[in-house]
Amino acid sequence: MNRGKVIGLTGLMIAVGSGALAEKKSENKPNIIYILADDLGYGDISCYGQKHYSTPNIDRMAAEGMMFTQHYAGSALSAPSRCALMTGMHTGHARIRANFSATDSRVGLKTSDITIPELLKTAGYHTGMFGKWGLGELGTEGTPTRKGFDEFFGYVNQKHAHFYYFPCLQHNEDQVLIPENVQHRSVYTHDLIHSKAKEYITEQANAGKPFFAYLAYTLPHSELDVPEDDLSKFRGKFPETPYHESLSKGYRAQSEPKAAFAAMVSRLDRHVGEILSMLKELGIEDNTIVVFTSDNGPHDAGGADPLFFNGNAGMRGIKRDLYEGGISEPMIVKWSGTIKAGAKSDHLSAFWDVMPTLCEIADIETPRHCDGTSFLPTLKGMKQSNDRTLYWELGEKSLFKQAVRMGNYKAVRYGLKNKVQIYDISKDRKEQNDIATSNPELVAKALELFSSMRHEDLNFPMKDNAKTGRNTKSIDPDDQ
């Protein structure tokens, strides 16, 4: 694999290329900043119910924008969720449907896969990404700079993104060495990524061209590791069960995992606040859309305790589950002058709706392959129907999981030979009362959708025990 040349951290600057002439005029089109947290649950933010710590900056964003209460991730795992976001396709159609294929290989995006940044570039946008990619290794067709990003800084490999003092990152298609992290833990990579994102936003604001900034931050994914300036604020506040170093997972020991988790979310919140403050200082707040959300439900790795923090807000399931707790996400959208402050919406939406929404905002055509529907009318205060169908699948480990949202109802099946469960989400968001027995017509509809909503893919077959040749005990489950 061509990993590109290696350069040092010192002196690295974010380069702003002029790019080709856009096919559409870019005047007056809003800037777009999409902030994606990693493994942050629906209940991990105080405006969505968190009681053990506060997230004042994200809360302020909600008070000044719109909170969505029925927004779904693309999947219950990182790579397929991000693929659904970038390509506008749910996991029955997308190229990446799990972190690993049935043959244990990573699947990356291809040249033929159309992404959000590729589309926005045709509307005159400059595009930059900062953080965790996970949709194609360096040097392949799926490298961020080959999938529409003019600028990239962060991790292309999602396994590396688990570690916050990693000795290298990537800038475009080059490796960036961080020698301070080879022998010592000196440079917190999230802070470096955040700093480069701020540089990019400042430079693009001064350039006067609309930009799309995808900030795929790694907090609060394991390992639970955070600098002392935030950790000290939470030390001694929670009952702790120390996490001992795991040789199989590679995570270092953490004597105060609850404090570390709260500190990581607090740091994320502060950095979101810095982005929002920058927009005011740069004079572009009124012409910038900011979205904040997360890629899947809360995790329980490295000592994390989603039960204690109520990270799923009392809903069933966590990361890797297709129950509500594994795929329901906070989503806040701030767009001064367009979105009414303090608005709250129960509009039913998912990651694959982001592509058509941004296309409509940028005044470009949404690709025909897209599975989503624009929620721009909701952002503008108009009512949209929730009578729609959303589909998820996850062929990981032993059981093939499927879920489909059918208006107010949701069907879930874990294992192709197991019964279909039906829940009325409008009355039972916690999915405690299975009504399948008394609603055979909904079961029949779900079974039909489980078949019709997907295209077969050899990398991710519709099959229980799809990975029978894989020794799952030897693989870090957090890398799934």
Q: Which pLDDT value is given to residue 9?
A: 55
**Whether residue 152 has pLDDT greater than 70:** yes
- Reported as a single tens digit per residue, the pLDDT across 313-328 is 999 999 999 999 999 9
Domain borders along the chain are 29-388
Q: Among 8-17, 176-185, 267-276, 397-406, whose mean pLDDT is lowest?
A: 8-17
43 touches 311 (CB < 8 A): yes
Q: What is the pTM of this model?
A: 0.93
**Whether residue 472 has pLDDT greater than 90:** no
Axis-axis angle for helices 257-282, 189-207 (nearest 10):
10
- The secondary structure element, H or E, covering residue 402 is strand 399-406
90 touches 121 (CB < 8 A): no
C-alpha span between 74 and 296 (Å, rounded): 8
- Reported as a single tens digit per residue, the pLDDT across 341-387 is 999 999 999 999 999 999 999 999 999 999 999 999 999 999 999 99
pLDDT, the chain, mean: 92
Class of domain 29-388: alpha beta
- The secondary structure element, H or E, covering residue 354 is helix 354-362
Q: Which pLDDT value is given to residue 3?
A: 44
| pLDDT over 90 percentage in the chain | 88
Q: Which pLDDT value is given to residue 27?
A: 67
Q: Is the dihedral of CA 160, 162, 168, 172 positive or negative?
A: positive
Q: Which pLDDT value is given to residue 477?
A: 42
**Whether residue 474 has pLDDT greater than 60:** no
> Tokens 């608005």, residue?
343
**Whether residue 22 has pLDDT greater than 60:** no
C-alpha span between 331 and 350 (Å, rounded): 10
Which residues pair with residue 37 across a beta bridge? 294
CA 299, 303, 305, 311: dihedral to nearest 10 degrees?
-30
> Tokens 């968190």, residue?
50
**Whether residue 475 has pLDDT greater than 70:** no
**Whether residue 57 has pLDDT greater than 60:** yes
Average pLDDT score over residue span 443-451: 98
Q: Which pLDDT value is given to residue 8?
A: 60
**Whether residue 5 has pLDDT greater than 80:** no
- Reported as a single tens digit per residue, the pLDDT across 227-241 is 999 999 999 999 999
Q: Confidence band (pLDDT; 50, 70, 90) for 289? A: very high
Q: Which pLDDT value is given to residue 398?
A: 73
Tokens of 138: 């360096």
- Reported as a single tens digit per residue, the pLDDT across 69-128 is 999 999 999 999 999 999 999 999 999 999 999 888 899 999 999 999 999 999 999 999
Q: Which pLDDT value is given to residue 6?
A: 59
CA dist list (Å): 188 to 181, 228, 353: 9, 11, 33
Q: Confidence band (pLDDT; 50, 70, 90) for 250? A: confident
Q: Which pLDDT value is given to residue 28?
A: 84
Q: Which pLDDT value is given to residue 55?
A: 98
